[in-house]
Amino acid sequence: MGISENIRAIKTELSDKVTLVAVSKTKSNEDILEAYNTGHRIFGENKVQEMTQKWETLPKDIQWHMIGHVQRNKVKYMAPFVSLIHGVDSLRLLVEIDKQAQKCDRTIPCLLQIHIAEEETKFGLDSQELEALLVAPEFKALKNVAITGLMGMATFTDNEAQVRKEFKNLKAIFDATKKQLPALEVLSMGMSGDYQIAIEEGSNMVRIGSSIFGSRNYN
Ligand SMILES: *Cc1c(COP(=O)(O)O)cnc(C)c1O
């Protein structure tokens, strides 16, 4: 199957309540346009420079989501156009996003990334770090950042029970955090290999790359 068939099939399968982010990292403008021409508008990238180049050359009604780990010195390049930053995991990064958003006279929606996987390598806040962040004076002072949800990645494993447990944990953190931040709406969890489980556990935003565009050689 080609890209347009893949994306149509996945969108048919998803309910209206689940937003699809088509993860186009490493893929060409031609591949992205094939998905775009089915009517899809939300694309995810994990490198700021690559996303910025694609934003410059592709149709301006695409909503670009930054799904990767963000370095503070790169925020300024995407601040004018990024629709949603998924991987925010520090107050210092939030302060920088706030500053750059202010320069662009806009509010940038962000998700806080929560560490739910067993692997040491995955980024994200643990529960204690999340609690500390939510009560920090610098957090309360943010003006041009809107925290609209949480994001997480499960352990890369065939063990479905483990993946399910991690997604359940993130959903519980989401529900608890929403009591403090009523504006939380988005729960970004699930990729090609595990999005069905993620949706069963309460995800309303899935980030799907290889099941749409085919496998990647890198990243
Ligand atoms: C690459 C990536 C995805 C998509 O992965 P697939 O397995 O190709 O669907 C989702 N989320 C993040 C954060 C990624 O880096």
Q: How far apart are CA 184 and CA 166, in angstroms?
A: 19
Choose among 122, 115, 117, 45: nearest CA to 84. Answer: 45
Mean pLDDT in the chain? 96
Domain positions in the chain:
3-213
What spacing in Å lies between the alpha carbon of 91 and ligand 1's midpoint?
A: 24
Q: How far apart are CA 136 and CA 217, in angstroms?
A: 41
What average pLDDT does this structure show over 187-208? 98
Three-state helix/strand/coil letters over 15-75:
CCCCEEEEECCCCCHHHHHHHHCCCCCEEEECCHHHHHHHHHHCCCCCEEEECCCCCHHHH
What are the structure tokens assigned to 146, written together?
């809107």
Residue 123 has pLDDT above 90, yes or no: no
Read off the pTM. 0.96
Check if 35 has its Cβ closer than 6 Å to any atom of ligand 1: no
Nearest CA to ligand 1 atom 6: 209
Closest atom of ligand 1 to CA, residue 23: 4
Nearest CA to ligand 1 atom 11: 207
Check if 191 has its Cβ closer than 6 Å to any atom of ligand 1: yes
May I ask the CATH class of domain 3-213? alpha beta
What spacing in Å lies between the alpha carbon of 198 and ligand 1's midpoint?
A: 13
Distances (CA, A) of 82 to 8, 104, 110, 168: 25, 11, 10, 29
User: For 132-190, what is each residue's pLDDT tens digit?
Assistant: 999 999 999 999 999 999 999 999 999 999 999 999 999 999 999 999 999 999 999 99
Residue 218 has pLDDT above 70, yes or no: no
What spacing in Å lies between the alpha carbon of 60 and ligand 1's midpoint?
A: 23
Check if 197 has its Cβ closer than 6 Å to any atom of ligand 1: no
What spacing in Å lies between the alpha carbon of 138 and ligand 1's midpoint?
A: 31
